[in-house]
Structure formats: structure tokens, C-alpha cells
Chain A
């Protein structure tokens, strides 16, 4: 059985959840106002190899077999890596059908990644489960597979990665069949509203789970108690599960190997965040849209390994923000849409590792910008919908690593734009503001690295655009 472990996993599932071939249409968090943060999966579309790269003979053969797929009844006599290659080609070329899948019965395939495949339903699952102990990863997302189909997966006891996103026919009963798959390290069940706390009982046996994704499973509140024994869990996503509340945080307090925790848009308050105090390995904590106040920052400030903290759209105000000063390792901080002022920014002075700071729609102004002067690693700074004006830009003129600067709907005027002329790393600049005109644009000509410039609401004429002629 050693062979199952030693294999090349090239071209496999990447971190972002992007799979080879079939495009993902769900899970997007698109917004044009914040084009660069957070980077959504939509930005990394599946890239085929360069068009003039010479295909290998292996690839040519796989393509040819897919063209003539009707000639083949079974591939089970082929070595596994060859049948896997043919299978992948068939999936990528969108030629896989229930009939052609049948030719792969007992092929000992390791990867069957056919999320969102047209026609995928229970009747496909027999061939899938015939891969038995060889199967290591399975994705049947967005399919009509039901609990009955899922029951066949029981036979694939070495399964490590199982993705069942948007499988609306799968309920608690189906999850029960998964309880024997103790080799699972990654399980994803995004957007499954039929799953409840009852179904989550099955998870308590999955002691090797490292990644669990239950984003938008609106019925799972009360079920996190079954995760208590999953000591290897490093990443948990329970974004937008609606009724997840403080009570659900208690079972998480012992999951000390957690590195990433997504809790955004739930009913978690300060009392719930207090349970997270001991999660000292956390590097990412996302509390966006939770009804928390700055009081919970005291508990968070002990999580010294945090690299990413998102508390946007919460009820944060200045009092309590002094605790942010302890998070000296932070690389990305999102404070957008909070009631914070320049007083809060003073506590960020020492966060010199920051690469991204979002202050969108906060009550910050020119004075606060002085506190950001020393954040020399900043690459992304979002000041849109703030009270920052030209005087504030003066303090930013030394942030030479800035690549993305959002000044939309600020008070910045033409005269202030001169302060930006030394920001030679700038690639993206948003100047969607009414008071910007041709005169201001003339000071941008030194920004030769600019690839994205938003002047939507600015009063710029053809004359102003001439400044960019020789760029």
C-alpha cells in the first residue's frame, strides 16, 4: 500500500481551491471597488500552457484517445499513470460522459476531479467507487449526487481529499457514510444547507482532518462540538453560516493547531472571540461582519503569530484599538467600515511588517496619515471614502513600495497628487473623485509602472489624457 502515498501530485488541487480544467463558478467574492484585496479566486483563471509549447507525445496520444473514445471499452489493463492521464484529458476536454467513464472501471485512478461536470449523478458513482483504495481525491461539487451515491464512496478508504461543494441532494444521512474515511485530510462541503449539527456527528471520526470547509452551510450551528477531537485541524472555514454564535466558539478553544479561521458574517460577539485566546498558532483570523467591538481586540492581541486580521464591517471604535499595537507580525489588516479615527491609527505605527492596510469608509483623515509614515513595507493602502485630503498625502510620499493606492471618494485634490510622484512602485491608482481634473493628472507622468488608473468620477478631459501619451 506504500505506493498510494508515494506519488507525484503535480497539477493537483491548489491552495485556492482551484482545480484543473473545469471552471469554478461559485464562491466568488467579486467587487470592483476593491479590485486588489482580498484577491479572489476569480482573478486566477485557469491558465492553459502557452499556445506554442510543443505537446509531448504522451499528450498527443491522450488527445487522440479522447477523440476516438468510443473505440475503447476498458482501460483497466493500462498502467495507472497512463489511465489517469487519459482520464484527465477527457475531463479537461469536456468529453467525459457516463458511458466513457465506464471504461475507467477498476483503473485504480487516484484523482477524480469532476466538480460541476454536466450530467454527473448517482449512476456515475459506481465506477468512481471501483477505484477503491487507490482513490485519493474526489471532487463531485455542484452535482446531483445524493446520499445514495455518496454511500458508495465508503469503499474508497484511502481518500484524502473530498469536495462536495454545492451538492444540494446530500444531507445528514449521506455524511454518515463518510465517518469511516479516517484518512481524509481535506473535506469541503460549501453551500450545503441540508447539513445540520446531526450530520456533523460523522466528522468526529475524521481525526486526520486538516482542512474543513463548511462555508455557507446555514444549518450547522450547534454541531461544532463534534470537531473537538480533531486536533490536527489547521484550517476551518465557517464563513456565512448565519446562526453560528458564541456558543459555537467554545468547542474551537481546544483546537490548538488551527492556523486559519474564517468566521466572517456570523453572530459571534466579543464573548465568543474570548474562546479563541489559546489558539496561538493562528496566522489568519477573519471576523468580517461579526458584531464584535474593539473590546475583543484584547483577546486577539495575544495571538502574536497573526499575519492576517480582518475585522472589517464590525463595530470597532477607537477605545480598545491600543491592543492592535501588540500584533507586530501582521502583514494584512482590514479595518474597513468601522467607526475608527486617527486616534486608532496611532496604534498602528509599530506594525512595520504591514503590507496591506484597508481603511475603507473609516473616519480617518490627514493627521492619521502621519502614523502610517513608517510602514515602509506597505504595498496596498485603501483610503477610499475617508476624510483624507491633499495634506495627508504628504505623509505617504515616502511609502516607496506602495503598489496599490485607493483614493476614491476622498478629499484629495489636484494639488495633492504631486506628493505621489515619487511612488515609483505604484501599479494601481484609484482617483475616482469629483475634484480631480487635468491639472492633477499632469503630476502623475512620472508613475511609469502604472497599469491601472481609475478616473471614473474625475473631471478629466482629452487634454489631460495627453499626459499619458508617451507611456
Chain B
């Protein structure tokens, strides 16, 4: 598999502080908002580079969201475990989830 192919199967999600999370494209597409960004027609930078920056989502929240993406995929394949959410971040996470249609 060539490095270019590899790149197409992952996307880079960048937090407000500039932290980069490289996740499977399939996982990131759990978010309807990200799916739209990555699949919209035209030459949006997100579609081109496979990178999305979230200036309003902090690093710990974005990390939690990435965890959810993978949890969602596992759930869909029949592995139904509990998804733990720390009470301190719930509200902020909920707002991000709302934005991401997740």
C-alpha cells in the first residue's frame, strides 16, 4: 500500500490548541458534520487535505470525541460496552456533540 493511499483512509482533526488527532476516515464520518465537510463537492480545504480544524473544541474534548467515534464503530459491530463520560466535561462535550451532529 502506497503512503498516498494510506493518507486517504485517515483524517486529521485539529483542536483549538492545535493538537492533531489522526483517525480513520470511517470513524470520523460517524459525525454528520465531519462527513459533510469531507464529502462536500468542490475544493474545500477539508476535502483536499483531509484535515479539519475545530477552533472551538478543546483538546480533551476532541480526544473524547475521537474515543466515541471508535466506540460507535465497535457498538455497530456488536460489541456493546459502556461509554464512560467524566462529569466535569459532560456539558462541554454535549455542546461539541451538538455541533458535530454526533
Contact = CB atoms under 8 A, between A and B. Distances in A.
Interface of A: 52, 54, 56-58, 60-62, 64-65, 68, 71, 78-79, 81-82, 85-86
Contacts of B85: 60-61, 64
Contact of B93 (A52, A57, A68, A78): A57
Contact of A64 (B72, B80, B87): B87
B54 to A, nearest CB: 14
A56 B98 CA distance: 10
B97 interface: yes
B98 A58 contact: yes
A85 B94 CA distance: 10
A57 B87 contact: no
Contacts of A81: 98
Given A57-B100, A64-B85, 9 more contacts: A56-B97, A60-B85, A61-B85, A61-B91, A71-B87, A82-B94, A82-B95, A85-B94, A86-B94
B2 to A, nearest CB: 33
Nearest to B72: A54
B65 interface: yes
Contacts of A78: 91, 95
A61 B93 contact: yes
Q: Which of B65, B94, B97, B102 has the most CB of A within 10 A?
A: B94
B97 A61 contact: yes
A220 to B, nearest CB: 45
Interface in B62-102: 65, 68, 72, 75-76, 80, 83, 85, 87, 90-91, 93-95, 97-98, 100, 102
B97 A58 contact: yes
Interface of B: 65, 68, 72, 75-76, 80, 83, 85, 87, 90-91, 93-95, 97-98, 100, 102
A319 B77 CA distance: 67
30 contacts: A52-B80, A54-B72, A54-B75, A56-B102, A57-B68, A57-B93, A57-B97, A57-B100, A57-B102, A58-B94, A58-B97, A58-B98, A58-B102, A60-B68, A60-B83, A61-B93, A61-B97, A62-B94, A64-B85, A65-B90, A65-B91, A65-B94, A68-B87, A68-B90, A71-B87, A79-B98, A81-B98, A85-B94, A85-B98, A86-B94
The 4 closest A-B CB pairs, nearest first, are A61-B94, A57-B97, A57-B102, A54-B75
A52 B77 CA distance: 10
A57 to B, nearest CB: 4
Contacts, number: 47
A78 B95 CA distance: 8
A64 B98 contact: no
Nearest to B75: A54
Contacts of A61: 85, 90-91, 93-94, 97
A65 B85 CA distance: 10
A62 B97 CA distance: 11
A71 B75 CA distance: 29
Contacts of B94: 57-58, 61-62, 65, 82, 85-86
Contacts of B97: 56-58, 61
Q: Which of B65, B72, B98 has the most CB of A within 10 A?
A: B98
A58 to B, nearest CB: 4
B58 to A, nearest CB: 15
A86 B94 CA distance: 10
B102 to A, nearest CB: 4
B90 A64 contact: yes
A49 to B, nearest CB: 13
Contacts of A54: 72, 75-76
Contacts of B87: 64, 68, 71
Contacts of B95: 78-79, 82
Nearest to A56: B102
Contacts of B72: 54
Contacts of A65: 90-91, 94
Contacts of A62: 94
Contacts of A82: 94-95, 98
A175 B48 CA distance: 62
A60 B93 CA distance: 10
A62 B100 CA distance: 15
Contacts of A52: 80
A88 to B, nearest CB: 13
Contacts of A64: 85, 87, 90
A269 B57 CA distance: 69
A111 to B, nearest CB: 17
Nearest to B83: A60
Contacts of B68: 57, 60
